[in-house]
Amino acid sequence: MRIYALAVYLFLYIPIGVIALFSFNAGRHAAQFQGFSAQWYGKALSNPFVVDAFQTSLIVALTSAVLATLFGTMAAMALQSVKGRLRVAFDALIYIAVMVPGIVIGIATLIALVTLFDWLNPLLAAVWPLAEGAPQLSLGYGSLIAAHGLFAMALVIIIVRARMAGMDRSLVEASADLGATPWGTFRQVTLPQIFPGILAGFLLAFTFSFDDFIIAFFVAGSQTTLPVYVFSSIRRGVTPEINAIGTMVLAVSLLMLVTAQAILQRGRKAG
């Protein structure tokens, strides 16, 4: 079993290690290592297309993560009071949202948004007070944030509910018995206990949005995220610059995931 597990891990992580190694290639060919050099990191960071794609990914990831964390936390708290079959139905919908393949979410979101825009744009043109210049809804930042935020919200709900399940409910009851308002109980008792789960949910939501390619490919419109840029670039051939970009994205993702896991572990120990 140890040999089998070692073989699986090597199969998974050796290609990642090769990408990281060849990102320091001094040569111009991705598959021919010609000495160590960090030049491709400098070229990637000075490439205006990479910078623009990175800014787009960062804006979308931060916004969608904030929205997913806010609404996901509220939904998780509301579901605590739901019982019976309705609770089972909500649970099923949450887990289905996580289990559905990304390509299905991307296609479904694209069709839904295009249909909605086709209905709303003529309505906006009809009610717009000016003869010209009526706004036209289209794919872009809004569609990216909406698609990523809705999917990531399911992740936040699962994480926050898991944290709430281990929360000391006696403190909440004691706060109510002592005359605290519901908002005061939430701010002083509930929030400090579930905050590790909220922060971990935010970090995971950010990581998902920043790394996502499949959903972004369908709903990005004229915007280009970093994963979409990388995909478009490798169609012309893999270069050490692409390896450098992939390594930097990997480092950011691993940092976020490790931080989220550490926060969850600390929250469990504190609970």
- What would the DSSP string read from start to end of 181-217? -HHHHIIIIIHHHHHHHHHHHHHHHHHHHHH--HHHH
What are the structure tokens assigned to 251, written together? 């480092």
Using the structure block, give the residue that is written with the tokens 């390619």: 213
Confirm whether pTM is higher than 0.75: yes
CATH superfamily of 49-270: MetI-like (1.10.3720.10)
Per-residue b or e along 9-34, where b marks 16 or more CB atoms closer than 10 Å to that residue's CB = eeeeeeeeeebbebbbbeeeebeeee
Domain ranges of the chain: 49-270
Sign of CA dihedral 157, 158, 163, 168: positive
Q: Taking the chain (271 residues) in consecutive chunks of 10 residues, what is each chunk's mean pLDDT?
A: 83 83 77 77 86 91 93 87 82 85 88 89 78 77 90 90 77 73 76 83 88 89 87 78 84 78 67 55
11 membership: H or E segment, kind and range: helix 2-22
What is the pLDDT at residue 30?
65
Which has the closest alpha carbon to 208: 96, 69, 91?
A: 69
Separation CA 119–CA 33 (nearest Å): 55
What are the structure tokens assigned to 2, written together? 């140890």
